[in-house]
Amino acid sequence: MAKPLRVGIAGLGTVGASVVELLRANGPALAARAGRPIEVVRAASRTPKPDLGLDAVFDTDLKSLASDDVDVLVELIGGDTMARDIVARALDAGQHVVTANKALLAAFGGELFDKAEQGNLALGFEAAVAGGIPIINALRNGLAANEVDVLAGIVNGTSNYILTAMEDDGWSFADALAEAQRLGYAEADPTFDIEGIDAAQKLAILAALAFDTDIDFTGVHVEGISQVDIEDIRYARELGFSIKHLGIARLTDAGVEARVHPALVPDTLLLAKVAGVMNAVMVHGSAVGPTLYVGPGAGGMPTASAVVADLVEVARGTHTVPRAPERCLRSLPIDGVACPHYLKIPAIDQPGVFAEVADILSRHDISIEAVIQRPQAIRAGAEPWVPIVILTDDVAETVVEDSVAELGRLPGVTGTITRIRVADLGAMMPAA
Amino acid sequence: MAKPLRVGIAGLGTVGASVVELLRANGPALAARAGRPIEVVRAASRTPKPDLGLDAVFDTDLKSLASDDVDVLVELIGGDTMARDIVARALDAGQHVVTANKALLAAFGGELFDKAEQGNLALGFEAAVAGGIPIINALRNGLAANEVDVLAGIVNGTSNYILTAMEDDGWSFADALAEAQRLGYAEADPTFDIEGIDAAQKLAILAALAFDTDIDFTGVHVEGISQVDIEDIRYARELGFSIKHLGIARLTDAGVEARVHPALVPDTLLLAKVAGVMNAVMVHGSAVGPTLYVGPGAGGMPTASAVVADLVEVARGTHTVPRAPERCLRSLPIDGVACPHYLKIPAIDQPGVFAEVADILSRHDISIEAVIQRPQAIRAGAEPWVPIVILTDDVAETVVEDSVAELGRLPGVTGTITRIRVADLGAMMPAA
């Protein structure tokens, strides 16, 4: 019988408990696939978890995992500083590492991948992005023959659940968020998810791997979805789009464009139909063309599926040791982005306002693709106003900003102008 | 500089030429990812291909590839007997093998995988199923922690192109086929594709890997799409379905169900929206849940992407040596399948016919989910007739057959009854 792969688990929360359960439930099949058994020999967590049946190997001290009898550390404690310490310690001690920690990699990925490379060790992170969808595997192995130039994804289930509930059921943002919290799809403080920080960390990790470059996480442009109104969802629907919280990364001659923001996704793309807590990542490769991967992006068992997949590779010896990127491309500022835009302009219902709006757009060379303006109910005690909804063709970021500022100064414009980018992925990606 | 991986290519058709091109165009990047260069040192094909710049290493004799200076044979000649000979010879000589040949694996996979296992060699076949979509990689590595119990796919681009053209553009089957041939998406003799044999070979390969069993290819139930009428496409659309040429494989306690046939796919599934020549495979895993993979299923470059991905793994030494399946599950006959059905019954427009139809269904305990009957234009010189379209709930195969036979004997039923299964994948698969 081959020597088992000896695992030390740090963190026994939802994912940790699921990893323990999965290794136990699928033990024989995993041993057959991996070529040897995979055994938890040490586990550490701040609070004991007697239900997991690990008492014999349990310790509250994380340092207990840096022991000779552990081949691979599974880091599931989250956060960055403590996680960085135990991962660095593990690699220095010659242990492989498997992690689900996107914040850790977004902040300290460079130094930790270097350590792993120097030690000829695995640093698996399939579980850090898009839950159980084997996207890291696809980028690293399945698409290894390609130069990837664009990727785009829905990689936060909280945001996607909220936007789907708004679109499918007509809920307001606040109601959809409350429902997400009730169902456990959103935290009590949902900022990290709905403001796009979680998605940005995942996008940075994907882009670094796909484009073979270091990515400065702080160079990712991030916007959340809390300003998306049910009215915008309806107008987008009418124009043939769904609004999604999208991460887009593009490799250009000038550097890497990486951004997370609400985006109108056309119905012609499968991505527009990815609903609820499902995640999806689209990757365009130079040889294969457009590919799409869809699946559960979070949850104990889906994430454990990814963690254990990495463990199987280490057990088999088929893991890939990290390789320092060939380059360190500059992160392009959002100013360089040009794409179509959705504009919703609250205007006083008087003659001339529309002409003034059209004139400003014309003077900025902004081409209009579609317009919706319908009568609005009269609000008590105020002048009647209507939203003028405009879909533009490609416009540069700075031009849109200038135009929106100028539009906002019109006397006939009565409130904040809503501006949402359109996902211009077009012919590159799998179409419905 | 590390020793190169020395490749011998058999077959220089569309895929072979693309592999040569891809290795040349991406040489440096591939060498960096693979840890060593990948070089074509021998090439063989029935007719010389001077445009490929391989004259120095070219031979018309396939046996020239069984040489000491070749580390890995890339088999791209297609067909089964000659391909089997050269693959067996390569493995016997200690060469790794990478193939795109589904017919070969469906017929001789068992014996060839055994040879590879005994020789501790790679037998890569990512390119044999779903073109550039890294589905074999996903099943083998990314989803290694799961027990897979269901998979379903659109794995033939010819059929999917035809059905999409019928649905989106209202073309007849014959016109859509002619257009597919004109565009090069269908062969002059399209039987292999439209009758589902190609899809069945791919499904057998996927099911064998996913369920860890030998699969008897002849046990796959196969039906083509040549009887699908534009009228059925429209009725399905009205009922909320798209008709796709689907391969479904299911692991049950009694054995493996594997079938290829036209199927009504509900709009709630992303699979229903996969259009044109794109392929898609849905896999349900015990830990991860439902996952979906979409991309180009054929073509020189997409297929070459998969071939070269396998080569990179061999070069890196991260390939997986085949392992004999744990079991050899029986293939279940189609009789055991139960699912909802679409029935189109051409009936004389007279009182009582509908009641007779309803009575027969009732006596067979078939529950009716939906009915469409509309007036039909009167045909000159014949009695007026209408199609009665019925969507049933779950019905067992044998019961449907008996019912359709009995319905066909009704005096009021004037022609062949159309029967199309509904893809009952439900909550298990990614929903729109």
The DSSP secondary structure of B82-126, one letter per residue, reads HHHHHHHHHHHTT-EEEE--HHHHHHHHHHHHHHHHHTT--EE-G
Q: Cα(A214)–Cα(A233) distance, rounded to whole angstroms? A: 36
Read off the pLDDT of residues A142-193 as tens digits, 9 standing for 90 and up. Answer: 999 999 999 999 999 999 999 999 999 999 999 999 999 999 899 899 999 9
The band of B379, judged by pLDDT with boundaries at 50, 70 and 90, is: low
**B322 to chain A, closest Cα gap in Å:** 10
More confident residue, A328 or B202: B202
Q: What is the pLDDT of residue B347?
A: 92
Question: Taking 60 as the threshold, does the pLDDT of residue B225 lie above it?
Answer: yes
* Predicted confidence (pLDDT) at residue A427 exceeds the cutoff of 80: no
The C-alpha of A375 sits at a distance from chain B's nearest C-alpha, in angstroms, of: 32
Confidence check: pLDDT of B104 > 90: yes
- Retrieve residue B131's tokens: 């073109």
The pLDDT assigned to B384 comes to 72
> Which residues partner with B278 through β-bridges?
B296
Q: What is the mean pLDDT of residues B11-30?
A: 95
CA distance A104 to A122: 16
Report the DSSP beta bridge partners of residue A262. Answer: A245
Q: B144 and A292: CB-CB below 8 Å?
A: no
Task: Give catalytic residue positions of A.
Answer: 202
Confirm if A297 and A277 have CB atoms less than 8 A apart. Answer: yes
Query: Chain B contact for A310, CB < 8 A?
Result: no
Q: How far apart are CA A131 and CA A305, in angstroms?
A: 8
Q: Which of A351, A39, A291 is nearest to B293 (CA)?
A: A291
The reply to whether B202 belongs to the active site is yes
DSSP 3-state of A397: helix
Query: CB distance B291–A288 less than 8 Å?
Result: no
pLDDT at residue A428 greater than cutoff 80: no
Kindly state the percentage of chain A with pLDDT values over 90. Answer: 85
Predicted local distance difference test score (pLDDT) of residue A326: 79
Q: Which residues from chain A sit within 8 angstroms of residue B143, using beta carbons?
A: 134, 305, 309
pLDDT score of B349? 79
Tell me if chain A has a CB within 8 Å of the CB of B247. no
What is the pLDDT, as a whole number, of residue B381? 58
Confidence bin at B378 (pLDDT 50/70/90): low
- Four-point Cα dihedral B323, B324, B328, B334, nearest 10: 50
Residue A431 has pLDDT above 60, yes or no: no
Interface membership of B108 toward A (CB under 8 Å): no
Where is B300: in which H helix or E strand? helix B300-316
CB pair distance less than 8 Å for A308 and B144: yes
Please report the pLDDT score of residue B431 as a whole number.
57
Which chain B residues touch A287 with a CB distance below 8 Å? 18, 22, 26, 132, 301-302, 304-305, 308
CA-to-CA distance for B81 and B104, rounded, in angstroms? 8
Q: Which of B41, B13, B102 lies closest to B300, judged by CA?
A: B13
Query: What is the structure's pLDDT at B293?
Result: 97
Average pLDDT over residues A68-76: 97
Provide the token pair at A93: 């001690």
Spatial CB neighbours of B34, under 8 Å, sequence gap ≥ 6 = A144, B5, B311, B312, B315, B316
The answer to whether A270 contacts B132, with C-beta atoms less than 8 Å apart, is: no
Give the model confidence (pLDDT) of A355-387 as tens digits: 999 999 999 999 999 999 887 665 555 567 789
Q: Which of residues 109-148 of A touch B (CB under 8 A)?
A: 126, 131-134, 137-138, 141-147
Could you tell me if B331 and B219 are in contact, meaning their C-beta atoms sit under 8 angstroms apart?
yes
- CA of B364, closest CA in chain A: separation in Å? 38
Distance from CA of A313 to the nearest CA of B (A): 7
* Nearest beta carbon to residue A287 from set B302, B320, B326: B302
Residue B351's pLDDT band (cuts 50, 70, 90): confident
Hey, which residues 35-64 in chain A have their CB within 8 Å of chain B? 35
Q: What is the radius of gyration, based on Cα positions, of chain B?
A: 24
Instruction: Tell me the average pLDDT of chain B.
Output: 93
Supply the pLDDT for residue A378. Answer: 58
| Exposed/middle/buried for residue A354 (C-beta within 10 Å: 0-12, 13-18, 19+) | middle
DSSP string of A270-305, one letter each residue: GGGG--TTEEEEEEEETTTEEEEEEEE-SSHHHHHH
Whether A308 has a pLDDT exceeding 90, the answer reads yes
Q: What local confidence, expressed as pLDDT, does residue A328 receive?
A: 86
Please report the pLDDT score of residue B428 as a whole number: 61
pTM: 0.95
**Record: contact A126-B132, CB cut-off 8 A:** no
> Each residue of B48-77: pLDDT tens digit?
888 898 888 999 999 999 999 999 999 999
Q: Which two tokens stand for residue A342?
A: 């959705």
**pLDDT surpasses 70 at B304:** yes
State phi, psi for B148 to the nearest 5 degrees.
-90, 130
Instruction: Check: CB of residue B44 under 8 Å from CB of residue B68.
Output: no
pLDDT digits over B253-283, tens only? Answer: 999 999 999 999 999 999 999 999 999 999 9
Name the H helices within A297-425.
300-316, 353-363, 397-408
Average pLDDT, stretch B372-383? 67
